[in-house]
Amino acid sequence: MHGISLPPGEFGGPWIDHLFCNTLDPAAHPAFSELEGLRVSSHLLIRRDGEVIQYVPLDCRAWHAGRSRFAGRDNCNDFSVGIELEGTDELPYATAQYQRLCATIKALRRGIPSLARAPVVGHCDIAPGRKTDPGPAFDWPRLERLLARRR
């Protein structure tokens, strides 16, 4: 789980799409200069209204985790599905995002055997000290309650 907004703290617009498609113009906004040359991708993005956008096929590697380690394994990009939520560490995520995230996780667990019992973790959990997202604004207990429901 990741959190992203481009420019930082702003929602909507084409900038996340441009970043994940490697077409972001660093001159389009002052905050983008630090992203020049960065090559990142994610499997999925869940926008504030719950819209899901897929950038990378689920059976292919996306470049979302960076230097990472989880459960004794390095390079989480090799064995994980990257889901970005449009948001920030500080602002609450939208109800539509939690609902769509829950449905997405359940579909992934049903459709991909290796994910059936896989934990859901934040970027902060696999790259502690380097990453903080999805941040303290993400309501992990809320997600757990939604995932525990039968439907």
Active site residues: 84
**Direct distance between the N- and C-terminal alpha carbons of the chain, in angstroms, rounded to an integer:** 22
Instruction: Spell out a b/e string for 36-54, using b for 16 or more CB atoms within 10 Å of the CB, else e.
Output: eeeebbbbbbbbbebeeee
- DSSP helix/strand/coil, 49: coil
Q: Looking only at Cα atoms, what is the longest distance across the chain?
A: 48
Strand partners, 2: 84
The region that residue 108 occupies, defined by phi over 0 for left and psi between -120 and 50 for alpha, beta otherwise, is alpha
Strand partners, 45: 53, 84
- How far apart (Å, rounded) are the C-alpha atoms in residues 141 and 6? 27
